[in-house]
Amino acid sequence: MNFVFHIAIMAIIFSILAVGFKFFLKLIGTLDFSYMGIVMFGAYSASLIHLHRWWWILSSVAGAFVFSLPFTIFVMYLSTKLSELYFAIGTLTVYVLMYQLAFNLEFITRWAFGLAGIGRDVIADLDIVSIQSFLLFAAIVMILLFVGLYFFKRTYFFRILQARWEGPLITKSLGIYTSKYVLSMICITTLLAVIGWSLFAFYYRYIDPPSFWIGMLTVLLTISFLSYKYNEATTFLIGFGVMFFYEYLRFFKIVDPSKLWYIREIIFTLSIVIIGFVVFRKLQFARKQ
Amino acid sequence: MDLSYILFNTIVYGVLATTLAAFMAYWKFLNLAVAAYFVLSSYVVYQLVTFWFGRGFVAISLLLVWVFFCLHQLLLKLFKNEKQRDLAAIVITLSAAYFLDNIIAYFYGPWSINVQNVQIGIGTLIAIFVLLLLVFYYVFSKSTIWVVLKWIYEKTAVIKSLWVRVDRLLQIVFGMFLILLLATSFLYLTKSAIRPTDGIFFLLKAVGIMIMVWVDKKEYMFVGSLLYVIVEYILFIERWLPIVYKETLILFVILAVLLIKPEGLFSLAKRKT
């Protein structure tokens, strides 16, 4: 049963990340690889705050969100300055830069050994040690986030964001100054990125740079593209299916453990290539081009 | 100053950047799998030099080359004239690159390989460098074939009316770049070692030099590469900065050029970003 709980927790984490990734993709229409950099920075910030200051999970995540905001603003600046292709290259560069710094700044990140000993105290004396209680905590966080997004999508604020994307000239002619709306949208994706992988850090009580490498990006892209046209609940279900497959290979030793990593990456990258060929032509993002 | 280091790296990065720029210019998409193909070529070369045709791995290696070729053809066919091709190509080729890296790692393991029993002297390196510099300068700025390629997408009807077989021409040029990458990977293995995971670093170097020079100035890719390698050498090999940050330099170059002079250092024109 613990296997199912584990899959559910991983599905929650990846569905939160995928919703954030899709949010940007749908409203700006281009690929933002720096999202992974923000995920990395947010998770490290939350873990370090928690480890060194012994703040609780929630306050650590809030602190990490505040620290991640300069990246958010930088990405917003890039999105206004660069076209789709160059923006994708620029954000890919930011992602790899974050990864390399995570590896090289060993006095902060402890190199490939990673940060260990992260606690699970939610608030005051409430400590979620068991996998069941952590699942409950993660599920509550996810439900709160998704319900919040559901209501946000029905606000005037969100409609302006959509209008800005679909008819930029119309919004301009109406005298609507959209920068603050874009900033708020990027703040939401940052919040989802920080919460998503902070949950991962608190779940495993450990993070290291290799866990943020392209393998993780391929899993995120797979879930994001498969669930592109669906709502948050369906994203979670798709995430559950993908994570079940992902972890099933490891838990039940279907393949040689020394080759497991390669097999998994081969399967997922091949799936992205297939999804890319089959689904990309039907998806309606990148309409600006 | 180690001239051998500078020439060797200039040739490798220059060829990769030129290939990437050629893809961008003539096939109209950014092929991020170019560096993965370079790594794959290195393993093919290593296999041929070390074991000759005695092992089954050669067949697998050649099969992988064929897979790469097919992938490229599929990308061209399926996304022909489609506006979504830019982003689709980024996702597909990046995934394909990582796919190839993992396939190589699956068969050969994560360890590095080289063929250092073959020695290439400084005189040969200088000759290769000068030859490539002149050849690229000639073909990209003086020859007729590149004029035809340049107009393939913009004046398709005119080019077709001249009875030029566009698909065949593109395939021949693509094949030439593959052979060039194969030869460069051989050169690389004689001086250095390569691992399956190195592809991303070659890719970033190629992208960085391409952005630094500008995609339309392919004839200057080697000059850009030389400039970058000299800066890298002074900063890291002369030990002014910690060597662990050597691969980080190109990332700062990419971001700086995109933010400060997005039209490239070698361009007088204003690029639309």
The answer to whether A192 and A72 have CB atoms below 8 angstroms apart is no
In sequence order, which residues have a C-beta less than 8 Å from that of residue A69 and are 6 or more positions away? Answer: A187, A190
Q: For residue B73, which residues of chain A lie inside 8 Å, CB to CB?
A: none
Across A185-211, average pLDDT: 87
> What is the pLDDT confidence band of residue A158, given thresholds at 50, 70 and 90?
confident
**Given an 8 Å threshold on Cβ–Cβ distance, is A280 in contact with B30?**
no
pLDDT (0 to 100) of residue B170: 75
The mean pLDDT of A20-27, rounded to a whole number, is 85
Per-residue pLDDT, averaged over A157-168, amounts to 76
Nearest to A217 by CA among A8, A14, A53, A71: A14
- From chain A, the residues in CB contact with B107 under 8 A are none
As a whole number, mean pLDDT of residues A42-68 equals 83
Least CA distance to A81: which residue of chain B? B273
Amino acid at B197: T
**Test the A interface: residue of B98, B202, B207 with most A CBs within 10 Å:** B98
Whether A138 and A9 have beta carbons less than 8 Å apart is answered as yes
From the list A101, A266, A286, the residue facing B84 with the nearest CB is A286
Q: Which chain A residue is nearest to residue B78, measuring alpha carbons?
A: A277
Per the CB < 8 A criterion, the answer to whether B12 and B173 are in contact is no
Residue of A nearest to B97 (CA): A269
Tokens of B197: 């995971």
In chain A, whose CA is at the least distance from the CA of B110? A262
* A85, A94, A272 member nearest B86 (Cβ): A85
Residue B83 reports pLDDT greater than 60 = no
Q: Are B248 and A104 an interchain contact pair (Cβ–Cβ within 8 Å)?
A: yes
Please tell me which residue of chain A has the smallest CA distance to B28.
Answer: A85
Q: In this predicted structure, what is the pLDDT of residue A14?
A: 93
- Of chain B, the percentage scoring pLDDT greater than 90 comes to 12
pLDDT band at B56 (very low <50, low <70, confident <90, very high): low
Length of chain A: 289
Q: From chain A, which residues contact B within 8 Å (Cβ)?
A: 30-31, 78, 81-86, 88-90, 92-94, 96-97, 100-101, 104, 214-215, 218, 221, 259, 262-263, 265-266, 269-270, 272-273, 276-277, 280-281, 283, 285-286, 289
pLDDT of amino acid B28: 74
Question: For residue B237, is pLDDT > 80?
Answer: yes
Residue B90 near residue A85, CB atoms below 8 Å: yes
What does the pLDDT average to over B110-128? 84
Instruction: Determine phi and psi for B134, rounding to 5 degrees.
Output: -70, -45
State the amino acid at position B248 in one-letter form.
T
Cα three-residue angle B26-B31-B34, rounded to 5 degrees: 110
Contacts of A272 in chain B (CB under 8 A): 91-92, 95
- The set of residues, in sequence order, having a beta carbon less than 8 Å from that of A97 and lying 6+ positions away, is A37, B248, B251, B252, B255
Is the predicted pLDDT of residue A4 greater than 80, yes or no?
Answer: yes
Q: Which residue of B has its CA nearest to A285?
A: B84
Tell if the CB–CB gap between A266 and B102 is shorter than 8 Å: yes
Residue B208 and residue B20 in contact, taking contact as beta carbons nearer than 8 Å: no
Q: How far is CA A67 from the centre of its chain?
A: 16
Residues B254, A281: C-beta atoms closer than 8 Å: no
Q: Provide the shortest C-alpha distance from residue A156 to chain B (in Å).
A: 30
Point out the least confidently predicted range of B56-65, B87-96, B125-134.
B56-65
Kindly identify which residue of chain A lies nearest to residue B200, measuring between CA atoms: A96
> What pTM was computed for the model?
0.88
- State how far the Cα of A30 lies from the Cα of A21, in Å rounded to an integer: 10
CA A96 to chain centre: 16
In this prediction, residues B162-177 reach a mean pLDDT of 75
B84 to chain A, minimum CA–CA distance in Å?
Answer: 6
Q: What does the pLDDT average to over B232-242?
A: 85
A121 phi, psi to nearest 5 deg: -85, 115
Q: Which of A31, A86, A272 sits opposite B258 (nearest CB)?
A: A86
Alpha-carbon distance of A168 to A161, in angstroms, equals: 10
Q: What is the mean pLDDT of residues B213-217?
A: 80
- Rounded CA-CA distance A73/A70 in Å is 5
What integer pLDDT is reported at residue A130 of this predicted model?
85
pLDDT for res A287:
43
CA atoms of B231 and B244, how far apart (whole Å): 15
Distinct helix (H) and strand (E) counts, chain B: 11, 0
Contact call for residues B195 and B201 (beta carbons, < 8 A): no
Contacts of B197 in chain A (CB under 8 A): none
pLDDT tier at A286, thresholds 50, 70, 90: very low
Which single residue is written with the structure tokens 């107009």? B151
Backbone angles phi, psi at A213, to 5 degrees: -80, -175
Q: Which of B78, B94, B100, B211 should be substituted to probe chain A, the one whose Cβ sees the most A Cβ atoms within 10 Å?
A: B94
**Cα B265-B177-B263 angle, rounded to 5 deg:** 15
The residues, any chain, with a CB within 8 Å of residue A111's CB and separated by 6 or more, are: A103, A209
Q: Do A276 and B204 touch (CB under 8 A)?
A: no
pLDDT for the residue numbered A289: 35
- Which contiguous run of DSSP H or E holds residue A3? helix A2-28
> Min CA distance, B164 vs chain A (Å)?
29
CA distance A217 to chain B (A): 10
Q: Do A86 and B273 touch (CB under 8 A)?
A: yes
pLDDT at A125: 67
| Residues A61-91 pLDDT 10s | 888 888 888 888 888 888 878 877 888 889 9
How confident is the model over A99-134, as pLDDT tens digits?
Answer: 888 888 888 877 777 788 787 777 666 677 888 888
Distance CA B176, CA B174 (A): 5
* CA dist B144 → A159, A191, B176, B216 (Å): 52, 54, 16, 16
Rounded distance, CA B273 to CA B265, Å? 15
- In sequence order, the β-bridge partners of residue A230 are none
Would you say residue A145 has pLDDT above 90? yes
Q: Is the pLDDT of residue A275 over 60?
A: yes
Q: What is the ipTM of this complex?
A: 0.86
Which residues of chain A neighbour B86 with C-beta distances below 8 Å? 84-85, 286, 289
Looking at residue B22, what is its pLDDT? 85
**Nearest Cα to Cα of residue A34 among A186, A238, A182:** A186
Please, are residues B17 and B30 in contact by the beta-carbon 8 Å criterion? no
Distance CA B20, CA B36 (A): 12
For residue A140 the two structure tokens come to 């509550």
- Residue A271: band (very low, low, confident or very high) from pLDDT cuts 50, 70, 90: confident
Residue closest to A152 by CA, chosen among A177, A197, A187, A196: A187
